Amino acid sequence: METKYEELEKQLTVREAELARLRTEIVLLRDSNSVHAKGQKERREQEEQKEPKEQLTSDVNDIKALSIIGSRGYCLRADIAGALGLDSSSGAVHRLFESLRAKGWIEEIQAEAIGIIGRPPNLFRLSERGYEEYKQFFGIEPVESEYDRLLARHKSTEHLLLNLLARNALLAAGAESVDLYPPPVMFPGGKFEVDIVAIFDGKSLYIEAERPTEKRPRDRSAKWTTYAEVTKEFYIVVPNKEAKTAIISEISLWAYRNPEQAAGVTLRVCQLSAFDGKTLWHHVQHFGGNR
d(CA 171, CA 249): 28
20 and 139: one domain?
A: yes
Q: CATH number, domain at 102?
A: 1.10.10.10
pLDDT at 117 over 80: no
- Judged by DSSP in three states, 91 sits in helix
> Which of these three, 128, 150, 172, is where a domain ends?
150
Where are the alpha helices (H) located in 60-216, listed in sequence order? 60-72, 77-83, 91-103, 128-138, 146-154, 157-172
Structural domain that includes position 89: 2-150
129 and 33: one domain?
A: yes
170 and 255: one domain?
A: yes
161 and 265: one domain?
A: yes
Q: Taking residues 102-117, report their average pLDDT.
A: 84
> Which of these three, 101, 116, 150, is where a domain ends?
150
Q: CATH number, domain at 171?
A: 3.40.1350
150, HSE (Cβ side, Cα atoms, 13 Å): 27
138 and 8: one domain?
A: yes
35 and 122: one domain?
A: yes
Helices 91-103 and 128-138: angle between axes, nearest 10 degrees = 100
65 and 121: one domain?
A: yes
27 and 106: one domain?
A: yes
183 and 50: one domain?
A: no
Per-residue pLDDT band at 28 (split at 50, 70, 90): low
pLDDT at 50 over 50: no
d(CA 209, CA 195): 7
Where residue 45 falls (left for φ over 0; alpha for ψ -120 to 50; beta otherwise) is alpha
Contact 217, 251 (CB under 8 A): no
Q: Which of 67-76, 111-120, 169-178, 232-241 shows the lowest per-residue confidence on average (mean pLDDT)?
A: 111-120
Domain total of the chain: 2
d(CA 64, CA 59): 9
210 and 252: one domain?
A: yes
Q: What are the residues whose beta carbons fall under 8 Å from the beta carbon of 289, sequence distance 6 or more?
A: 263, 264
6 and 145: one domain?
A: yes
Q: Output the pLDDT for position 24.
A: 57
Q: Output the pLDDT for position 119.
A: 72
d(CA 154, CA 228): 22
CA distances (Å), origin 239, targets 57, 197, 199, 269, 272? 40, 18, 21, 10, 5
> Which of these three, 150, 168, 197, is where a domain ends?
150
122 and 228: one domain?
A: no
Contact 67, 138 (CB under 8 A): yes
Q: pLDDT of 188-230, one tens digit each? A: 888 999 999 999 999 999 999 998 766 555 568 999 999 999 9
